[in-house]
Amino acid sequence: MDAVATTSFIHAFEPGTDANRTPLLLLHGTGGDERDLLPLGRMVAPGAALLSPRGQVLEGSMPRFFRRLSEGVFDEDDLRRRTHELADFIKDISRQYGLAAPVAVGFSNGANIAASLLLLRPEVLAGAALLRAMSPFAKPPRADLTGKRVQLLSGAFDPIVPADDAERLATTLASNGAAVDHRTVPTGHGLSQADIGLLKTWLDKA
């Protein structure tokens, strides 16, 4: 698919009001932007600091976090490069805002790069909630995810993410030491009230 890169991470930041809340890194899906997941962040983690970057790749006019070759087929070289760029941004901007390592909350394309962050740069995240994620790599790298909590929320009727692919991602993360909570909700690729309830409960335990 045709894609061009922009040059820097435009982002939104909302300071936290609850020091006990872990900051959230909000990662939008294809065609979203830095504002898309802010309402979700406020809903599931009231009082948490919210950091929400815009993807640097354009597919047509739609922002993404990395290139894909077709639906469900990722440009893994670009994914690796973009993952390291995003990780460096997270480190730098967290230092600037005085944030602890955040929990990523990613949807679709954002969930896929969050999974990639866990496998390539786990030190920048405290954990991750992966909403409609796929396995980002055909041959996943090894990573030490000991102590990382991961929630994976899949859609029972998702036409984009095959059930066995999501299960493979859950197995990959767990085999690297993550504490994985994989749930399947009765919906498609879009988010539902069931997702919001499960995510809020999971975050409340962070």
Is residue 158 annotated as a catalytic residue, yes or no?
Answer: yes
Q: What is the pLDDT of residues 85-115, one digit of tens each?
A: 999 999 999 999 999 999 999 999 999 999 9
| Predicted pLDDT at 70 | 79
Q: Which of 28, 52, 94, 158 is catalytic?
A: 158
> How many other C-beta atoms are found inside a 10 Å radius of the C-beta of residue 184?
16
Residue pair 45/21 in contact by the 8 Å Cβ criterion? yes
At 102, which helix (H) or strand (E)? none
Is residue 94 annotated as a catalytic residue, yes or no?
Answer: no
Work out the mean pLDDT of the chain and round it to a whole number. Answer: 94
Is the pLDDT score of 170 beyond 50? yes
Q: Which residue has the tokens 């919001």?
A: 196
Domain of residue 73, residue span: 3-204
Q: Which of 36, 52, 94, 108 is catalytic?
A: 108
Is the pLDDT score of 116 beyond 70? yes
Q: Which of 11, 84, 182, 189 is catalytic?
A: 189
Is residue 181 annotated as a catalytic residue, yes or no?
Answer: no
Tokens coding 67? 């290139």
Q: How far is CA 156 from CA 72, 153, 168, 185, in A?
A: 17, 10, 15, 6
| Predicted pLDDT at 132 | 98
Reported as a pLDDT band with limits 50, 70 and 90, residue 69 is confident
Structural domain count, the chain: 1
Residue 11, Cβ density class (10 Å: 0-12 exposed, 13-18 middle, ≥19 buried): middle
For 121, what's the count of Cα atoms within 13 Å in the CB-facing half-sphere? 22
Residue pair 164/8 in contact by the 8 Å Cβ criterion? no
If phi > 0 it is left, if psi is from -120 to 50 it is alpha, else beta; for residue 177 that is left
Residue 94: give its domain's CATH number: 3.40.50.1820
- Residue 166 is which amino acid? A
| Predicted pLDDT at 4 | 42
Instruction: Report, as an integer, the average pLDDT of 125-148.
Output: 97
Least confident piece of the model among 72-76, 139-143, 157-161: 72-76
